[in-house]
Structure 1
Amino acid sequence: MKEKNIKEQQSIPVSKVQRAAKFISTGAKVGGNYVKHYAKKVVNPNLSKEELHNSNAEDIYNSLSQLKGSALKVAQMMSMDKNILPRAYQDKFTMAQYSAPPLSYPLVVKTFMKYFGKTPDQMYDSFTKSAVNAASIGQVHQATKEGKKLAVKIQYPGVADSVSSDLKLVRPFALRLLNMNEKELDHYMEEVEGKLIEETDYELEVQRSLEISQACSHIGGLTFPGYYKEMSSARIITMDWIDGKHIREWLETNPSQEDKNRVGQSLWDFYHHQVHNLQQVHADPHPGNFIIQNDGKLGIIDFGCVKILPEDFYKGYFSLIKKDLLINEDELNEIFYNLEFISDKDTDVEKEYFKNIFKEMISLLGKPFHVDSFDFANDSYFEQIFMLGDRISNDKMFKKSRQARGSRHGLYINRTYFGLYNLLNQLQANVKTTKPEWLESNAQAV
């Protein structure tokens, strides 16, 4: 990891009034961009929306990056799904993963004084004045203590207190960008809010980091940082520094296919064990949370977002990847009802439509589980996923649905697997797709 030459932020809007004012001014800019676009379109009817998307993405990201917190986190989440946003938004919002504008050192000192009554220089032998990485919830500084190289994560001021109000403010943007109806968005907002509140609890993050890293310590090819409770608090985490490169940087070194497969296998095994054995999972698989060390091991950081899987949801959700389930209509109907894909409020036409849509989705997304090994370098597979997602998002019946489709628990599990698939595709990895025991008998070698 290396320092980035990004201008530091000297202050952050903390009060609800300040943050609301920022959203309002951004909304005005976006509105102005639409006026300009349609004025130009009068002169040039063939004008595309590319310039409009670029302008809006720039204005929205600049605003969110100054606000930090849950608003910026939502942008980061959306950037991980290539189907959700136009390319301009994807490119801009991806910056939230590890290169948001950092806060200045005086604000960092203020946070340390609040929680420890000491400055960073009094707590560590050395401490970088500038952040080496900055994302949506907090930023990271490098420090040393008694010969150990440390990473110190500091939460932005006011983030924890503004989660609920920020989500209310970001709601109009989300409705437009995600192309959702209000009922569908509201269905998931409670889940998002709960997870974001958990992410601001750094003491909980340290606890989960220790638990999951210990439970996954037997998996080959992985490494986890140690955590230091005596130098951590509700808003500051001190952990071991992991030297290495993020996946994108590592790929630029042209690693061998064998090395890419090995890293990909470690990723798959890490998520498989969490989901099927621990039933709680690191649910933030964006590239900024993984570091490949010089010895080829994969470092796992940031356990702020962990999804615990209720037993009934787990059984229903993962039963869907059994190949023979798709021909067992009674069992399929029961699971679809339990997972809220269909409901008694649906007409017969709607039930049939949504059953067919979800069968198609399940068949496609479950492909890696139906074979002994899967080549995630197969770009045509991902094109099929994106084309299906695009078709569904533009389908009139789906848009006019009177209710949200899918259990709220599926939100972060879907995000986890989409993120995992995308990482494996970036790696162009071929992995052995290990499965829970009950599924092994259904696997077929390719």
Structure 2
Amino acid sequence: MQSKSVIEEATPKSYLTQDATCFQDASHSKPSVQIPNTMENKPQNSIPTSKVERAARFAKTGLKVGGNYVKHYARKIVDKNLTQADLDKENAADIYETLSKLKGSALKVAQMMSMSEGVLPSAYSEKFKMSQYSAPPLSYPLVVKTFKEAFGKTPTEIFDAFSKDAVNAASIGQVHQAEKGGRKMAVKVQYPGVADSIDSDLKMVKPFAMQLLRLSEKDLDLYMNEVGDMLKSETNYLEELQRSEKITQACADIKGAFFPTYYKEYSAERVLTMDWLEGVHLDAFLASNPSQEIRNQVGQTLWDFYDKQMHELQEVHADPHPGNFLFTPEGKVGIIDFGCVKKIPADYYPKHFKVMDRDNLVEESKAETLFEELGFLLPSDTPEERKFFVAVFRELLLLTTTPFEGDTFDFGDDAYFDKLNEFGERLSKMDELRNSKQARGSQHALYLNRTYFGLYFILHELKSVVSVRSIWFEKKK
């Protein structure tokens, strides 16, 4: 879903999506930017913030989903043509409606799950993808309240102009446009109660995630703990400002990339202000039918941006969903939202990237040693289990590291992505994985893998042909 800019008529190609929130004081005499609400969703006047309120809302959804099952199978007696997809569609709509009203961590998990094709049933994937671009925004009076708590002033007392309506709204907050001293700015404001409800939200969403992702409880616990830690970091906008400045300065030399300037004087723990970037999201960019040259150009920019972070900074923008990138007609890429940044521990870094050396995977003895280092193999494994997991992880890693085999890779190759999806489907049905009593692998791999798969997905959508020689190989020389 593409939500349009607050100044759509004046600059029809201006879009911005970030996890943020903002509002406005209509009673203040200073005029604000009066922009029609172009968002499809109606603003919320309140958001449940207490654990009891949020749990009750989620429990009600659980009952509704249960009712959908009863209705579905009752209708199926009469209509034999009803399918599981019909039931998935009803359940996905009900779950997404609740998550989008609760916002915060629960909606963030839905956003993350929607990024990988084949992970969710298609009805859920399509519905949850809405959170990548736009969720129902909060009403303006709540934005004013947040500003007063942060600065003791309303938005229009701080800025020369401030849009009453949110431009975009996502899982953690929403974005408004502002002006100050002739500069156009984007202002992120966090939803009330998001930071305080992370742990309880993740506990609530866990049963649904287990069922949808078809993961064992042990694996999901590892995942949820890492997600919780990252979300707690992501909800402090002053920390995000510091991370943003550090990474954007370090990556300023990436050809084709551009970044906003951040304004500490107009930022606080729950409010973040930066330059407004011009560009369009991925879906609108692709709809403009860019040439293959431009597709390759923007794909190369994204690849170089992530390769440098992984192997020089060892600190990476780990939220590569399409809403965090803006594309221009001439093939430049604006990169925003450094709330989710994964620091790669120095002792884990060399172990994780050894898989890029094919020799470590092709030779079974080397693969076993590496898999022990990575925690894929456990001391308690029987010989049969050990043989099974070596085979599974070798196949997985040989497949996922295929792009690194040559000097270039065509991410438009549908056959390769079909193989990824087919293997993922097989993995989800393996009883040995589902019934494993211990999680395998490191929690540090979760966001690194998510980053690469998110990047692969975007490059596949772009159908980019990319030079994939990594800094990792240069460092080894």
TM-score (norm 1): 0.96
User: Residue 26 of structure 1 contacts residue 63 of structure 1 at CA under 8 Å; is this kept in 2?
Assistant: yes
Residue 398 (structure 2) aligns with: 363
2:128 to 79, 93, 113: 93
Partner AA of 1:217 in structure 2: A
Residue 189 of structure 1 aligns with an amino acid whose one-letter code is M
Match for residue 249 of structure 1?
284
**Structure 2 residue 274 is matched with structure 1 residue 236:** no
Structure 2 residue aligned with 1:158 = 193
CA distance in 1, matches of 2:393, 2:132: 30
Q: How does 1:370-381 map to 2 (within 5 A)?
A: 370-381=405-416
Counterparts of residues 43-442 of structure 1 (less than 5 Å): 43-44=78-79, 47-438=82-473
User: Contact 2:308 / 2:471 at 8 angstroms: preserved in 1?
Assistant: no
User: Any idea what the Cα deviations from partners look like across 1:196-219, whole Å, max 9, x if unmatched?
Assistant: 111101111100000000000011
Q: Could you say what secondary structure the match of 1:401 adopts?
A: coil
CA contact (8 A) 1:322 1:439 kept: no
User: Structure 1 stretches of 5 or more lacking a match?
Assistant: none
User: Matched residue of 2:377: which SS?
Assistant: coil
Distance 1:294 1:61 in 2: 33
Partners of 1:412 and 1:245 in 2: CA distance = 26
Contact kept in structure 1, 2:311 and 2:472, CA below 8 Å: no
Q: Residue 435 and residue 174 in structure 1: after superposition, are their counterparts in 2 closer, same or farther (change >3 A)?
A: same
3-state SS of the aligned residue for 1:312?
Answer: coil
Percent same amino acid among aligned pairs?
A: 55
Whether the 8 Å contact between 2:295 and 2:331 is mirrored in structure 1 is no
SS across alignment from 1:237:
strand
* TM superposition shift of 1:437: 4.9
Output the amino acid matched with 1:54. Answer: K
Q: CA deviation at 1:441?
A: 8.6
Superimposed CA distance per residue, residues 49-83 of structure 1 (whole angstroms, 9 cap, x where no aligned partner): 11110010000000000000000000000000112
The verdict on how the C-alpha distance between 1:437 and 1:120 changes in structure 2, with shifts beyond 3 A counting, is closer
Matched residue SS, 2:466? strand
Higher RCO (C-alpha under 8 Å, 6+ residues apart):
2
Question: Where does structure 2 lack aligned partners over 5 or more consecutive residues?
Answer: 6-37
Structure 2 Cα separation of the partners of residues 34 and 307 of structure 1: 39
SS of the residue aligned with 1:110? helix
CA shift digits 1:372-406 (9 cap, x unpaired): 00000101100000000001111222222222222
Q: 1:54 to 1:220 in 2, by over 3 A?
A: same
Q: Report the Cα distance in structure 1 between the residues aligned to 2:399 and 2:284, rounded to whole angstroms.
A: 30
Distance in 1 separating the partners of 2:440 and 2:190:
34
Q: Which amino acid aligns with 2:467?
A: K
1:135 deviates by: 0.4
Q: Do the aligned residues in 2 keep the contact of 1:4 with 1:133 (CA within 8 Å)?
A: yes
Deviations 1:270-308 (A, max 9, x none): 000000111110000000000013443100000000011
Stretch moving more, 117-126 or 286-295: 286-295
Q: C-alpha distance in 2, partners of 1:175/1:114?
A: 38
Bigger shift: 289-298 or 413-422?
Answer: 289-298
Look up the equivalent residue of 2:220 and give its one-letter code. Answer: L
CA contact (8 A) 2:367 2:394 kept: no
CA distance in structure 2 between the aligned counterparts of 1:281 and 1:413, rounded to whole angstroms = 8
Q: 1:316 to 1:238 in 2, by over 3 A?
A: same
CA separation in 2, counterparts of 1:24 and 1:441?
53
Task: Supply the AA of the counterpart residue of 2:369.
Answer: E
TM-score (norm 2): 0.90
Give 3-state SS (helix, strand or coil) of 1:245's partner: coil
Question: Paired residues, what number?
Answer: 442
Shift of 1:182: 1.2
Letter in 2 for 1:49: Q
CA distance in 1, matches of 2:147, 2:76: 53
Q: Post-superposition shift, 1:46?
A: 6.0
Deviation at 1:332, TM superposition (A): 2.1
- Per-residue displacement from partner, 1:209-255 (whole Å, max 9, x unpaired)? 00000000011000000000000000000000001101110111111
Using the alignment, how far apart are the partners of 1:275 and 1:175 within structure 2? 30
Match of 2:73 among 17, 26, 38: 38
Post-superposition CA distance 1:124-168 (Å, at most 9, x none): 010000000110001000000000000000100000000011111
Between the aligned partners of 1:440 and 1:151, the Cα distance in structure 2 is 38
Native 8 Å contact 1:137 1:200 kept in 2: yes
Deviation of 1:188 after TM superposition, in Å, equals 1.9
CA distance in 1, matches of 2:472, 2:438: 35
Contact 1:102 1:139 in 2 (8 A): yes
* Contact 2:48–2:54 under 8 Å retained in 1: yes
1:424-444: CA deviations, max 9, x gaps? Answer: 0010100000213536999xx
Partner AA of 1:11 in structure 2: S
Instruction: Tell me how far 1:183 sits from its aligned partner.
Output: 1.4
- Say if 1:272 and 1:434, in contact at 8 Å, map to a contact too: no
Residue 184 of structure 1: how far off its partner (Å): 1.5
Aligned 8 A contact 2:290 2:329 in 1: no
Change (3 A) 1:349 1:369: same
Can you list the C-alpha shifts for 1:90-127, whole angstroms capped at 9, x where unaligned?
11100111110000000000000000010011010100
Distance 2:268 2:136 in 1: 23
One-letter amino acid of the counterpart of residue 108, structure 2: K
